[in-house]
């Protein structure tokens, strides 16, 4: 894509002729991650696609970790505005907050694991994202402590769900046949209930649909919060 090109001469470029910017670097990095995954996003590779010396990047971002932190920022920049909505029940508002959060993380699946496993990124993101959850549960009439715990639980669930969704989906779109095989091969008395239930479900029943799995979880959640705390 980027013609090998004659090497640019050294020295500071004239004003307005800067070849790089933090933003341009991050956009290029996001493209690499989206197209080829996190492992492909190396500093040298990034520099190559920008047609630039690897070391040039370090004038705009201190190191590779900062590049990934910047990517997380980029992804969540859009999400910020979520209007309060009193037209729906608190239950629906809570579910909707979870759906929005899931979608945001899902929009760049290759980045999800990176985001979820980086402490500072997660806490940034959470602070920005979490208001709608708090609002819904406040409307439900929960006490502060209960709101706090309920939100943590729900967010943790979404994280775990995304972990499965992004890594499993990447590897095997169908996990049903694999699962049936595995269970079939287990020593019969080791997991009798698992064996019976999966067999009753059959091949089609195991064709896991992430969307309906997510919705089903949300329902369990909301009902659980309702009967536990209201």
Partner DNA sequence: ACCTGAACACCGTTCAAGT
Q: Are 116 and 76 in contact (CB under 8 A)?
A: no
Q: Which does 13 bind (CB under 5 to 8 A by kind): its own copies, DNA, none?
A: DNA
19 makes contact with DNA (CB under 7 A): yes
What is the token pair recorded at 110?
A: 């290759």
Angle, alpha carbons 181-186-187 (nearest 5°): 150
Nearer to DNA, 7 or 188 (CB): 7
206 binds, among its own copies, DNA, none (CB under 5 to 8 A by kind): its own copies
Q: Which of 1, 3, 4, 10 touches DNA by CB under 7 A?
A: 10
How many chain residues bind its own copies (CB under 8 A)?
A: 70
In which residue are the tokens 């809570």 written? 94
Alpha-carbon distance 18 to 95, whole Å? Answer: 46
Alpha carbons 102 and 116: distance in angstroms, whole number: 12
Please report, as residue ranges, which positions from 7 to 46 form the binding site for its own copies (by CB under 8 A): none
Task: Restricting to residues 52-111, name those near DNA by CB under 7 A.
Answer: 52-56, 58-60, 63-65
Picked from DNA, its own copies, none, the partner binding residue 64 (CB below 5 to 8 A depending on kind) is DNA
Q: At what angle do helices 22-36 and 109-116 cross, to 10 degrees?
A: 110
| Residue 191 binding its own copies, by CB under 8 A | yes
Cα 93 from Cα 134, distance rounded (Å): 10
Q: Which residues bind DNA (CB under 7 A)?
A: 7-13, 18-20, 42-45, 52-56, 58-60, 63-65
């Amino acid at each position: 894509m980027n013609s090998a090109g004659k090497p640019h001469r050294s020295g500071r470029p004239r004003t307005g002729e800067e070849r790089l910017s933090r933003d341009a670097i991050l956009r290029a990095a996001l493209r690499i991650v989206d197209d080829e995954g996190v492992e492909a996003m190396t500093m040298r590779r990034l520099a190559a696609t920008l047609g630039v010396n690897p070391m040039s990047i370090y004038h705009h971002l201190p190191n590779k970790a900062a590049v990934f932190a910047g990517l997380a920022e980029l992804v969540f920049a859009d999400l910020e505005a979520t209007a309060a909505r009193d037209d729906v029940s608190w239950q629906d508002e809570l579910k909707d907050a979870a759906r929005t959060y899931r979608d945001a993380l899902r929009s760049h699946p290759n980045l999800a694991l990176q985001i979820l496993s980086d402490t500072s990124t997660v806490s940034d993101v959470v602070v920005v994202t979490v208001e709608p959850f708090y609002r819904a549960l406040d409307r439900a009439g929960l006490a502060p402590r209960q709101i706090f715990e309920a939100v943590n639980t729900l967010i943790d669930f979404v994280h775990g769900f995304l972990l499965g969704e992004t890594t499993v989906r990447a590897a095997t779109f169908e996990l049903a046949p694999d699962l049936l095989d595995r269970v079939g091969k287990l020593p019969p008395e080791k997991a009798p209930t698992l064996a019976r239930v999966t067999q009753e479900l059959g091949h089609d029943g195991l064709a896991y649909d992430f969307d309906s799995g997510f919705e089903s979880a949300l329902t369990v959640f909301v009902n659980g919060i309702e009967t536990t705390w209201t």
